[in-house]
Amino acid sequence: MIIDDSWDKKNGSTILIEGELLEEVHSKYQHIEVYNTKRFGKLLKLDGVIQLTEFDEANYHEMIAHVPLRTHNTPDNVLVIGGGDGGAVREILKYKHVKLIDLVEIDQEVITICKKHFPNISCGLNDSKVSILNEDGAEFIKNVSHFYDIIIIDSTDPFSVGESLFKEGFYKNLKRALKPNGIVISQSESMFYNKDLINDMFEFKRKYFNAVRYYYTLVPTYPSGTIGFHFCSDGHYLPIDINDDPFDRMEGLKYYNEMIHNSSFLTPNGVSN
């Protein structure tokens, strides 16, 4: 048993976690660690930053996936950039009308490790609807035109391999890759620790999308206990207008429901929305 003194590079905060180091890999792109903890189950870290725990991963993955999928009428093709743990894919596959999911994850080692240690999260990665491409998402999107109904940016934080996914030029290319009335969802940091970054991103995203709204979810093991997303679209101005998908048939949801969907767009003063 060891004590992992986990330092968050974004915010300089320290999280003490008691647990056992199960595996550690230095891939071509990042430092990957998996711990078995007492309180949170298995835990994944990339470059020293917590990415998920079994305890609260559903709070993140359900909100990054179900908000756009419940807002769009009939999405066929969905792109996930990042998300090598498979959690977003797992949630997208609950919608039977989705025909194709492309997962663009730059680091194959993340996928390999998550399949080994997090089978309940990565369980959808072998589905026949899913194509996995080990490419740089920012480069991949340059060559796509009007193909996807929904694009989900399930990125790490804005440094290292995730840095390019927070740049304005990336969003210009995302707009071109969407079908008319498409939706982009992007991981957009904490409204408590990263307000300036969120507001800056809001401004340049508004250059490419008529509707840009920030929403959030509660993830206790993340710094500040919250993480947010930007909802970007030209055709869906009110993301609280939920479609008639047979939501009640979805089993096993731990966090997301219709009331959470609507209330997640209510933010404190000072957060552009």
13-55: per-residue pLDDT in tens? 445 567 899 999 999 999 999 999 999 999 999 999 999 999 9
For residue 172, tell me if it sits in a domain: yes
For residue 272, tell me if it sits in a domain: no
User: What whole-number distance in Å separates Cα of residue 53 and Cα of residue 39?
Assistant: 10
Q: In what order do the strands lie in the sheet with 100-104?
A: 130-133, 100-104, 77-82, 148-154, 178-187, 226-233, 211-218
User: Quick one: which of 136, 134, 110 has its CA closest to 122?
Assistant: 110
Confidence class of residue 230 from pLDDT cuts 50, 70 and 90?
A: very high
Residues identified as active-site: 154
Contacts of 141 (CB under 8 A, 6+ apart): 81, 170, 173, 174, 177
Confidence class of residue 73 from pLDDT cuts 50, 70 and 90?
A: confident
User: What whole-number distance in Å separates Cα of residue 92 and Cα of residue 98?
Assistant: 8
Q: Which residue has the higher pLDDT, 248 or 3?
A: 248
Q: How many domains in the chain?
A: 2
pLDDT (0 to 100) of residue 102: 98
Q: Are residues 131 and 45 in the same domain?
A: no
**Mean pLDDT, rounded, for 122-133:** 98
Q: Are residues 41 and 118 in the same domain?
A: no
pLDDT (0 to 100) of residue 242: 65
Pairing of strands 41-46, 49-53: antiparallel
Residue whose structure tokens are 């008691």 = 18
Give the structural domain span for 85.
Answer: 57-263
CATH code at 43? Answer: 2.30.140.10
User: What whole-number distance in Å separates Cα of residue 82 and Cα of residue 90?
Assistant: 14
Which tokens belong to 163?
């840095």
Angle at CA 90, nearest 5°, toward 84 and 96? 135
Contact indicator for 234, 206 with CB cutoff of 8 Å: no
Residue 16 pairs in a beta bridge with 5
User: 154 burial class (0-12, 13-18, 19+ CB within 10 angstroms)?
Assistant: buried
pLDDT (0 to 100) of residue 245: 59
For residue 273, tell me if it sits in a domain: no
pLDDT (0 to 100) of residue 221: 93
User: What whole-number distance in Å separates Cα of residue 52 and Cα of residue 244?
Assistant: 30
Note if the pTM is more than 0.85. yes
Q: Are residues 228 and 120 in the same domain?
A: yes
Mean residue pLDDT of the chain comes to 88
Q: Are residues 62 and 49 in the same domain?
A: no
pLDDT (0 to 100) of residue 10: 45
